[in-house]
Amino acid sequence: MPSGSIDKALTVLEALAQHSRVTDIAAGTGLPKSTVHRILQSLLGWGFARADGNGGYIPGPRILTLAGKVMSRFDPAQHAQAALKDLRDRTGLTVHFAVRSGNELVYVAKLEGRRPYQMKSRVGMSVPLHTTAIGKVILANLPPAEAEEVVGRAGLSAVTRRSITDPAVLLRQLATAREQGFAVDDGENDPGISCLGAPVFDHTGNVMGGISLSALSFDLDLDNEGLAGEVISAARNVALALGAPAQPDAAGRAG
């Protein structure tokens, strides 16, 4: 149970996202109803809560105003840096963080690996979804109808001779990625380069991008369960840093 006054107020504010009745908020927070009622009156005064007209309370407009100001300064790559660096240091491989932009993904962060070579990718570069490990986990975690629409709109053009151009083959890979929590790119976007990628979810629990490990194909075993676990764990940490729900699902992802 929260003890300090600020802790109590923040606990009530957080509970307000799920509950509207004083009794339910009190039960959810473990605080006395009198304390919850007093805090709600303060939140009303500040505009962080408002009465719903039925004896309950809902989040107020001040929350949206504050959220808008915060998001205007929010840099996902900056918040992800610690998890990305830890993954790079633990594996020695190049790490990418990319977010979806329409029918493509855009790299927003890159940490070079500790190998005597470098990837040609760069921050700001956009690449197709279907040829990359990150793109596949994004597609795999979209609603099926939306994923099919994106694929149909973008097409499955070949970037390398190993790129997947058959929708049925891609759909099978997406189903596998959804089940195991990661996807692979076996020279499909860049000849001789392999990648392992896992999805990153946003504060709503929806997929917004992903992170990956990349290396020359002889230097990255795509069947290495340990490396796959490292990517999944790091992606979950990035998601948590971006405000995603904390509960992992069966595939190991947050959301």
From 7-11, 94-98, 227-231, the region with the lowest mean pLDDT: 7-11
Residue 233 sits in a domain of what CATH number? 3.30.450.40
Final residue in a domain of this structure, among 72, 98, 115: 72
Task: Say what percent of the chain tops pLDDT 70.
Answer: 92
Burial of 86 (0-12, 13-18, 19+ CB in 10 A): middle
What is the pLDDT at residue 154?
82
Question: Which CATH number is 41's domain given?
Answer: 1.10.10.10
- Is residue 72 over pLDDT 60? no
User: Is the same domain home to 40 and 9?
Assistant: yes
Q: Whole-angstrom Cα distance, residue 139 to residue 209?
A: 10
Q: Is residue 250 part of a domain?
A: no
Residue 35 lies in a domain: yes
Question: Mind listing the pLDDT tens digit for each residue in 170-179?
Answer: 999 999 999 9
Q: What pLDDT does residue 68 have?
A: 65
Is residue 255 domain-resident?
A: no
pLDDT surpasses 80 at 250:
no
Cβ proximity of 71 and 52 under 8 Å: no
**DSSP conformation letters of 116-153:** SS--S--TT-EEESTTSHHHHHHHHTS-HHHHHHHHHH
Same domain, 153 and 68: no
Tokens at residue 47, please?
Answer: 């505009």
Do 224 and 163 lie in a common domain?
A: yes
0.75 surpassed by pTM: no
Question: What's the pLDDT at 252?
Answer: 41
**Residues 89 and 152 occupy one common structural domain:** yes
In a domain, 248, yes or no: no
Give residue 78's pLDDT: 82
Q: What is the mean pLDDT of residues 153-181?
A: 92
- 159 and 120 in one domain? yes
Q: What does the pLDDT read at residue 247?
A: 53
* Total number of domains constituting the chain: 2
In a domain, 51, yes or no: yes
Separation of alpha carbons 89 and 23, rounded Å: 48
Own/partner long-range contacts of 108-113 (Cβ < 8 Å, ≥24 apart): 108/76, 108/77, 108/209, 109/77, 109/80, 109/81, 109/84, 111/84, 111/85, 112/88, 113/88, 113/214, 113/215
* Average pLDDT of the chain to the nearest whole number: 88
Q: Which residue has the higher pLDDT, 144 or 182?
A: 182
- What's residue 75's pLDDT? 72
Q: Please indicate, yes or no, whether residues 53 and 92 belong to a single structural domain of this protein.
A: no
How many percent of the chain have pLDDT more than 90?
62
Can you tell me the distance from the alpha carbon of 118 to that of 112, in angstroms, rounded to the nearest whole number?
7
Which of 72, 107, 126 represents a domain boundary (last residue)? 72
Q: Which domain holds residue 162?
A: 76-241
Q: Are 36 and 26 in contact (CB under 8 A)?
A: yes
Assess contact for 121 and 107: CB atoms under 8 A: yes
